[in-house]
Amino acid sequence: MKNKNIAKVYANTLIELGKEKNVDVAKELTVFTEVINSSNDLENVLFLDVFTNEEKEDVFTAIAGKLSMSEILVAAIKYLINEKRISLLPLIIKEVIIVDDEARGFMKGTIEGAEDDISQDHKDKLITALKKELGSVEAVLEYKKNDSITAGYKVTVGDLQLDATVDNQLKSFRDSILGN
């Protein structure tokens, strides 16, 4: 939880700096993430402690040059490398994307259920329930099958989670009877 809070602070700072310098931080970080994900070697160099900070910084500088990354992000990522906080980068990127999505008027989330797929009717009902919590922000939901759910749905959008599973209802019932 502590790392997530730290990542939020970094993400908000990067977004504000990006606004000041007219840099689309979310777009640049998305491209950088795609490059990292396409190469296990690059991922290893950046995130394993086997490599020195100088080696990490040299590799990153070469990639940043090829991607024409903004000075803001280059400086920020070099800072993370030198402060041995580069492991926070994936969390920071996730938080930047969440904040950027919210600014654009939507949030990505997931619906988890026991079935292979969800009907459009059920999905619409869940979106309607979410609108009460999210206000004007539109939820863009992806469905994932979860074998640990017996019946019902669990919806997660950002920090919000709606749990309408039978398992959760039974647990609540049990806790109320046992006085927990």
Per residue in 101-127, pLDDT tens? 777 767 777 777 777 777 777 777 777
Q: What is the pLDDT of residue 175?
A: 77
Domains of the chain: 2-101 (1.10.520), 106-178 (3.40.30)
How far from chain centre, in Å, is Cα 17? 20
Decide the pairing of beta strands 138-145 and 152-157.
unpaired
Q: How far is the C-alpha of 46 from the C-alpha of 51, rounded, in Å?
A: 8
Residue (of 60, 67, 59, 73) closest to 26 by Cα position: 73
Torsion, Cα 141 147 149 153, to 10 degrees, reads 20
Instruction: Compute the average pLDDT of residues 72-100.
Output: 85
Cα 147 to Cα 156: distance, rounded to the nearest angstrom:
17
